[in-house]
Structure 1
Amino acid sequence: MLYIVLPAYNEDQALPELLADIDHNCAAIPHQIVVVNDGSTDSTFDVIQNYAQTHDNVHGVNHEQNQGLGAAINSGFQYVLNHNYQVNSPDKLPAEKQDSPDIVITMDADNTQPADCIPVLYDEICSGADLVIASRYVQGGEQHGLSFGRRGLSWGAGRVMRFFAPIKGVRDYSCGYRAYRLRLLAEGTRQYGPNIIKSRNFSGMVELLLKVAPFAERVTEVPLKLHYELKKGASKMRIGATIWGYLQLIYQLKRNKWSTVKWAEE
């Protein structure tokens, strides 16, 4: 089963188009969509509820208050792990389906990451990869509409993390558009608890990568054409807090301690 986790904060304008695009591109793939409403102050929660009423593969998880990207991803993963255990336990599956991979894809809910990349990520996992990143920095990758500061931050984060924590096959450390074998997330939860991401800012996606990559035998990247100019509304990223988050990650890598730092707020 393919699970698609969408953390959403004030994305009522982008969600309908994105959900329709996912349905179109994933029509041939059995999939479930988990949308985590992270305390939105617009009508995001209503959009999720309305869509779930007409699509039985769409599920909503609600945070009454905004908790940040990391907490939204954590909630989405826990929903998937619980759902997968209930639906796909060995005693409920035909023998021929027990060996099919369970896959989780995370992507932004602002419709800047094209859904036509989902089948590519899915096929990479089915071909033997354990973790696949939609990357702006491999041949065929592009990024449009980002400010110079955002481009520099993403590029610099990748360079710094490749120096301090090199992962074979990875150039794009900060992009959250990824596919994971579900067993990686299950193992990460066993090792770090249900709140595997501690960071409260966008560095949490780098933190997650560093925590689960050691459980992966094969990590690959596929090209991503990012279209940030399609984003409706202001960016939620605070560059200063994100840079501070990266510094905290480096500190914890050097100290080999993941729970001793008070994380910067979003």
Structure 2
Amino acid sequence: MAKIYLGLPAYNEEASIEPLFQRIQKYQDVTQTRLTIVVYDDGCRDRTKENVLTWNDRLEIIYLDGIVNKGLGEGMNSLLSEFVRRGQSEDLMVVMDCDDTHDPSQITEMLATLKRHPNTDVVIASRYRRGATISGVPFHRVLLSIGAACLYKMVHPAFHVRDYTCGYRAYTHGIAVKTLNAYPEPLLKERGFACMVELLLKCKHAGARFREIPLRLAYDNKLSASKMDVSGNTLRLLKRLISWRVRGLQ
């Protein structure tokens, strides 16, 4: 049977571990779906590690200790490399935020999408599909994200993709291998959330075929402080989009 790895990049998420892992355990119990949880510790300075490891007797956990904070890009590099090293051709890695804003039950929708469209390589939980729900996000950030998404689509069109930045995605083992082999190490050069756009575009250039499901985002579940400079990161990402268009992905 295919194995599902659940990748969780974490930075100071001690408050979110208990509610998130409770939901993961409930999902496993209800669906009888066994997950291997891979946590990447991006130099956490709180009790994230201790809180994760208390679940060792209830969940299958692989803990990658990054020691020093290097950003989301390094976390994604580590998670994808670990997946390629451990996984088999039929396996899947689902990556979601570690702050309890994403719903683990949507893994079922991702698996159903892969079954309906067997040639799919990446499934994205998208804010811009009918049926998506978003709670707890300030209105100005919603408008900013919609405007930015339209620009991403114009500059770097990808078939079946509307949401270029959401981190809740499922990757097949095959596309992870192809993408890592297509680029020199490290695969992702971007430190912040721009790495999610970089990864999507590099998957595309490696031949990935995409599908989207509507995202259920509960930002009001977030218990840890936001670590993202949204406007600053968005501006840097827009500059990168032009650079990638002119110079190509490196």
Mapped pair 1:63 → 2:66: yes
1:194 to partner: Cα distance:
4.2
Residue number among 83, 103, 120 corresponding to 2:109 in the alignment: 120
Letter in structure 2 aligned against 1:164: V
Distance 1:254 1:188 in 2: 18
- The 5 A counterparts of 1:9-48 are 9-27=11-29, 28-48=32-52
Aligned residue number for residue 240 of structure 1: 231
Over 3 Å counting, the alpha-carbon distance change for 1:156 and 1:13 in structure 2 is same
TM, length-normalised to structure 2: 0.91
Mapped pair 1:106 → 2:128: no
5+ residue gaps in structure 2? none
Percentage of pairs with the same residue: 32
2:213 aligned counterpart, secondary structure: strand
CA-based RMSD: 1.7
Distance 1:125 1:245 in 2: 33
Distance 1:241 1:195 in 2: 24
Is 1:25–1:118's contact at 8 Å kept on the other side of the alignment? no
The range that moved more, 184-193 or 248-257, is 248-257
Aligned residue number for residue 129 of structure 2: 138
The range that moved more, 135-144 or 233-242, is 233-242
Is 1:162–1:171's contact at 8 Å kept on the other side of the alignment? yes
Distance 2:185 2:107 in 1: 25
Letter in structure 2 aligned against 1:75: S
Distance 1:178 1:107 in 2: 7
Residue number among 47, 50, 54 corresponding to 2:54 in the alignment: 50
Aligned residue number for residue 190 of structure 2: 199
Is 2:43–2:67's contact at 8 Å kept on the other side of the alignment? yes
1:51 to partner: Cα distance:
1.9
TM, length-normalised to structure 1: 0.86
1:74 to partner: Cα distance:
0.9
Letter in structure 2 aligned against 1:185: A
2:232 aligned counterpart, secondary structure: helix
Mapped pair 1:183 → 2:174: yes
How many residue pairs get matched?
A: 244
1:113 to partner: Cα distance:
0.8
